[in-house]
Structure 1
Amino acid sequence: MRFVAQTMKTRRNFCARTTSLIVSERIFSLTFPILNIKSSKRYRQDVIVKRGQVGGKCAKFDRAILENNSKIKGYLMSWADELQHFESNSNFQMNENHCEIIFEKPTIVMKLDAAINLYHHFCDFINLYASLHINQTFNQDVDIIWWDTHPGGFVDNLYGVTWKAFSKHQPYELKDLDQKRVCFKNLMLPLLARQREGLFYNSPLVQGCSGTTLFKSFSQFILHRLGIKPPKAELEKVRIVILSRSTAYRRMTNVKEIFFFIADEKSRPEKESGALYERSSRCDETGDLKLNEL
C-alpha cells in the first residue's frame, strides 16, 4: 500500500498499487457532472473528467505517487480513471456548505460486472469479500453505491440477494447522485472484478501456490450471512452437474464422450458399473460431483 494522501489527523487512508483498492476517512468528496443518463452507456470511463471534481482536504498530497499508480486504466481494472483528477483543497470542510449529500456510514462504491452472468457477477462479490479482509471491516451497517451509468440503472434480479451478505441496507444508484456534491466520512473503493492478475478473473497460475481457503471461506461467508443451510447429501445418489459453453475458447471438447460414458455405465450390470462410483466417490457436501473427478 502507498500513502497518496494524509489527513490533518492520523487516520486510515491508503491506496494500493495501480489504484486497485482505496480506503479514505474524512477526506473524500465527489462532484458528479451531468451524466446525461437518458443517453448514457454502461462501463463509462469519463464520469470524472476535470481537476477538483474529486478531492478532499489533505495535510500532504503526493500527486507523483498518484500519477505513477494510475498507469493501468480500465473500467473494471482500476480506479485510475476516477482518481486521476484528485485535488487537495485546504478550504474543504465536511459540512453542508461544501457537501449536498454526506454519507455518514462507512460507504463502499462498486463498479460492477455483468449482473446476468453468475461467473462475472461473483467476480464482483469475491473481490469485495477480499477487500473486507484487507480493510479488516465486516460490519453490515454500511452503505453501498452501485457505480453504473446505464439509463436503466443496475438491475440485479438474479443474484441481487447476495448484497445482503455485505450490507443490511438497499444499495444506492449512481444516477440518483447526478450533479450532486457528495461527501464520504469513510469510503472504500474495493478491488475490481477484472484486474490484471486479479482474483477469479485473470487469475495467474502462481508456482507453489495451492490449497488456499479463500474461495471456501467466501462460500461459507455467503451461506452464513444469508442464513442458507446446505442440504444433506443423499448418499445413495450422485448428482453430476456439467456446465457446457458453445463459444470457441470455453467449449468442453469432450462433453459428448462424458455423456456417453455415463449413459453406458448406467446400462451395465451393477457389479461392473460400480467402477464409475469408485472413481467419482469424492463428492462435496451436497452430493455434487466435480468434473475434474470424472
Structure 2
Amino acid sequence: MKLYPIQCGNFKLDGGAMFGIVPKSIWHKTNPADERNLIDLGTRSLLIEDGKKLILVDCGLGNKQNEKFFGHYALWGNESLDKNLKKYGFMRDDITDVFLTHLHFDHCGGAIEWNDDKTGYRPAFRNAQFWSNQNHWNWAVNPNPREKASFLKENILPIQESGQLNFVPLPVNGNYGFAPDLKMDIIFVDGHTEKQMLPILKYQGKTIIFAADLIPTIGHIPLVYVVGYDTRPLLTMEEKEKFLKQCVDNEYLLFFEHDAYHELATLKMTERGIRLDETFSFNEVFGY
C-alpha cells in the first residue's frame, strides 16, 4: 500500500464560524484572518494505492458551481485535484473508489461534474464506486435547515442516479473495516453531521487518522475549539475528547483535510490538556 496527499484546491471561510465561541484574539494566532475576517483553508484528499485499488478519500469542491457561488468562498492558489493526481502519475479514470467522509459540498463537490455536451451532471470519476453510509445519506437528502446550504442536490443525487453509489455498513461494535484486504478502519462521529466517517490507516509502521471536520486544522486541536457549523457541538466535544486521547496514547498521526499549510501532526499531553506536538509534511515522514 502507498498513500499520497492530494491537495484539491484552497478556499476561505469566516474565522468566527470556523471557531464558534473561541474569541478571535485567540484563534487568529494559528489561523490569521484577512480584512474580511476570512481564514485560509485547504481541501486535501488522501489517495490510497493498494493492489488494484486506487481509493480517493474526499474530493474537494469541484468546479461546476457558478461564479457567484465560488465568490462566497474566495478561492485562492493554483492547486487542483488533476494537477496533484498527475504529480504521482495518476488521472481521474484510474480511481476505483471515492470514499466520502460526508456529503458537505467542500468534501464531495468534486465527485460530480457538468457534462461538456450540457446534457446534465455526471460522475467526475467514471470508473469509480462511491462510498457513503445509509444513515448519512438519508440525513443529506432530507437536510435540516441548518445544513441545507451544505448539502447541494447537484453534488449528491447524481451519484445515486449513476448507479455507482454504495453504502458502508455501520459497525456493530467499534470500528468497521472498509475493505477486507485493506488495512483501513473507520471511526463514525455524529457531532458535526450524522455519521461522518474518519478513516484510520496503518502505514509504514505508523497509524494515520484522516481528521476531516472533527479537527479541520491545527488550530482546532484544543478540546473546546469546535466548528460553529457543527449540528451537535456538545457531542463533538465528547467525541473529540475520546479521539484526542486515542491519538496521544497510540502516537497517531493526524492527517488534516482543511489545514492549507500542514499535512500531518502529532499530539501531546500538557498541563492545559492535549495540544499540538509537531507538524510534518508527507515527505518528511515517508520520504516523498
TM-score range, shorter chain: under 0.3
Which of the two has higher C-alpha Rg?
A: 1
TM-score (norm 2): 0.26
Question: Hey, which of these two has a bigger chunk of strand by percent?
Answer: 2
Work out which structure has the larger RCO, using CA pairs closer than 8 Å and 6 or more positions apart in sequence.
1
